[in-house]
Structure 1
């Protein structure tokens, strides 16, 4: 199995701009919540859930299509649904934005069902420094592509992180597909 699957141009630059503009116009919330406490040493970012923004409904259709393509071509997991809203995150240098090593599966109603994680790079990589999505599927660390509009899809159990943003702002879109427990 491949550690991750990339789809270049999953979203056009205009779609990335439209999504950032739409999210920036809404109230972003602190995303430092981990296991019931605010833990900025683990994650420092601001997020918005797209289900709360009716004008962003088009995103879900695109994400479903991308996930189906990646699953068909690379993973062939038993997927059943998308029980969670897509999430847009903003990582800024002013806040030392980052997300330390973690996996997207675990205890809880939704995390226990996650099978694939899809992350779309919304920012132009020339507008920020740091903020690299790194994956650690084994003892090796790989970097996800930074090209704007690229979707990176990987099993939700793979350890990954976003390195600290040292200049500018990194925007990303994340969604998880669900399915029955791995067997």
Structure 2
């Protein structure tokens, strides 16, 4: 499931995050790349243990904890601490790759299975040329270039890349989610069911039918969830 989540961050939160990370020292992006993806990765990244990374990270985590669409779409069990990258100048692209299946946080040794990949845009589309996130899914290639504050959520098993940035700077936050529901097909079914229930409740209120559907949703979640 590929999901566009608008306005994860407010304009004030975007400005605050940018003020924090724009003042930081950026490192070579290969510091978190796997063996295969390191050959294709040509960007810059804030070190995971940088104090400014942690300050900006907390803003993102607070916003995620209050975002109903993210919580419904990802059904998070664990979140790998958000990271920040930029593409500009000579470090401007990331070729085709698949994300590592498990990420281990260096400071804590905590393992996170990467079920869902997330990119939260921090630059406006008009601030840079190129830089589209290309995701290969069952419906073909999807080119993603959202407004600052918007996020895309997609299966970590997808082949994806970032096209070269030919001018300007593409700055984003990225992270992985271990979902309570491992199979993407089951997450999609639960998401569609939850969205349908909400639409029925908005139109007709709490009817006996909507209550039964809500029960079906939670019974499926109870059956499938790994918590």
TM-score (norm 1): 0.80
CA RMSD of the aligned region, Å? 2.7
1:52-100 CA-partner distances (Å, limit 9, x unpaired): 334322221213444x63352x46x5x4212x321111110x1141111
Residues 115 and 176, structure 1, Cα contact 8 Å, conserved in 2: yes
From the CA coordinates, give the structure whose radius of gyration is larger.
2
**2:87 is the alignment partner of 1:88:** no
Contiguous gaps of at least 5 residues in structure 1: none
What are the residue-to-residue correspondences of 1:26-105 with 2, within 5 Å?
A: 26-33=24-31, 34-35=33-34, 39=38, 41-48=39-46, 49=48, 52-53=51-52, 54-56=54-56, 57-66=58-67, 69-72=69-72, 74=73, 79-82=76-79, 84-92=80-88, 94-105=89-100
Flag the structure with higher strand content.
1
Matched, 1:159 2:159: yes
The two structures have a TM-score, normalised by structure 2, of 0.66
Per the alignment, do residues 155 and 51 of structure 1 end up closer, same or farther by CA in structure 2, a change over 3 Å counting?
farther
User: Would you say the 8 A contact 2:99–2:156 is kept in 1?
Assistant: yes
Q: How many residues end up aligned between the 2 structures? A: 174
Structure 2 unaligned segments of length 5 or more: list them: 106-110, 184-227
Which structure has the highest helix share of the two? 2
Query: Hey, what's the Cα distance between the residues in 2 that align with 1:38 and 1:104?
Result: 8
Q: Distance in 2 between matches of 1:151 and 1:50?
A: 23
